[in-house]
């Protein structure tokens, strides 16, 4: 009886198996890469209820981060400025500016402005602002050059790997205590020398244990 299928079809199951393995791997790799925080989160810039420009306030006017983010040195959260902070200036400056209507309305009604969070960690990860600020980690290390942003945009992935890279090699992110919020600070000598001095003075030993961020 003549063969129904040609001889080469004997290799077809193996070829299909190899193709399935490579195709499956390619799909998984694609989802892993495209679904990483560096691709999904970096560049996130939600529309806010008020067109607040950090470039104007922190950059051009030189307002220190801590004037608005009151609890950044003492609390796990940096804190959003209450409307009163805004009105300290805007009762006089731009008092009739249409762009500031939501601020004036918030002040008059006694209701907080509903800012949209930009840097948002998952609930299973714990981050303490005060620990990092008091360890002399510069604000720009996580937030980028906020003083140059008219609209705040997420600059870093804030992924576990990214955090661990910093904990393993914190040297390039450390600034003198009085320069932590200075976005334009540059080391007068080698950064590694300054970092070594800070780490020794503050006895810094960043944890790499799971319990450091996951309770």
Predicted pLDDT of residue 215: 82
Predicted pLDDT of residue 10: 77
Predicted pLDDT of residue 2: 65
The tens-digit pLDDT sequence of the chain (215 residues) is 566 777 777 778 888 888 888 778 777 777 666 667 788 899 999 999 999 999 999 999 999 999 999 999 999 999 999 999 999 999 999 988 999 999 999 999 999 999 999 999 999 999 999 999 999 999 999 999 999 999 999 999 999 999 999 999 999 999 999 999 999 999 988 999 999 999 999 999 999 999 999 98
Q: How many CB atoms lie within 10 A of CB 1?
A: 3
Are 203 and 170 contacting, i.e. CB atoms less than 8 angstroms apart?
A: no
**Mind listing the pLDDT tens digit for each residue in 37-72?**
788 899 999 999 999 999 999 999 999 999 999 999
Closest by CA to 206, choosing from 174, 170, 171, is 170
Question: Hey, is 187 helix, strand or coil?
Answer: coil
Are 75 and 130 contacting, i.e. CB atoms less than 8 angstroms apart?
A: yes
Dist CA 160 CA 125 (whole Å): 9
Predicted pLDDT of residue 17: 84
CA diameter of the chain: 100
Q: Two tokens at 186?
A: 């540059």
The structural domains of the chain, with segments of one domain joined by +, span: 45-80+115-207
Q: For the chain, what percentages of helix, strand and coil (3-state, to nearest 5) are there?
A: 50, 0, 50
Torsions phi, psi of 88, nearest 5? Answer: -55, -35
Predicted pLDDT of residue 33: 63
Q: Residues 6 or more apart from 36 whose CB is under 8 A from it?
A: 157, 159
- Helix (H) or strand (E) run with residue 38 in it: helix 37-40
Are 147 and 59 contacting, i.e. CB atoms less than 8 angstroms apart?
A: yes
Are 92 and 69 contacting, i.e. CB atoms less than 8 angstroms apart?
A: no
pTM: 0.81
């Amino acid at each position: 009886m003549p063969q129904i299928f040609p001889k080469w079809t004997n290799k077809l199951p193996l070829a299909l198996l190899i193709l399935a393995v490579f195709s499956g791997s390619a799909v998984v790799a694609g989802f892993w890469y495209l679904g990483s925080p560096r691709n999904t989160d970096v560049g996130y810039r939600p529309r806010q209820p008020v067109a607040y420009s950090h470039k104007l306030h922190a950059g051009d006017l030189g307002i220190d981060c801590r004037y608005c983010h009151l609890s950044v040195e003492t609390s796990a959260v940096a804190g959003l400025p209450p409307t009163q902070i805004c009105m300290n200036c805007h009762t006089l400056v731009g008092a009739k500016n249409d762009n500031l209507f939501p601020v004036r309305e918030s002040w008059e009604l006694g209701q907080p402005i509903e800012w949209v969070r930009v840097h948002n960690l998952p609930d299973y990860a714990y981050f303490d602002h005060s620990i990092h600020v008091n360890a002399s980690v510069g604000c720009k290390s996580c937030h980028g050059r906020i003083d140059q942003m008219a609209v705040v945009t997420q600059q870093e992935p804030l992924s576990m790997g990214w955090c661990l890279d910093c904990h393993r090699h914190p040297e390039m992110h450390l600034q003198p205590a009085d320069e932590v919020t200075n976005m334009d600070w540059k080391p007068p000598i080698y950064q590694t020398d300054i970092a070594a001095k800070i780490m020794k003075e503050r006895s810094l030993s960043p944890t790499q244990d799971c319990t450091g961020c996951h309770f």
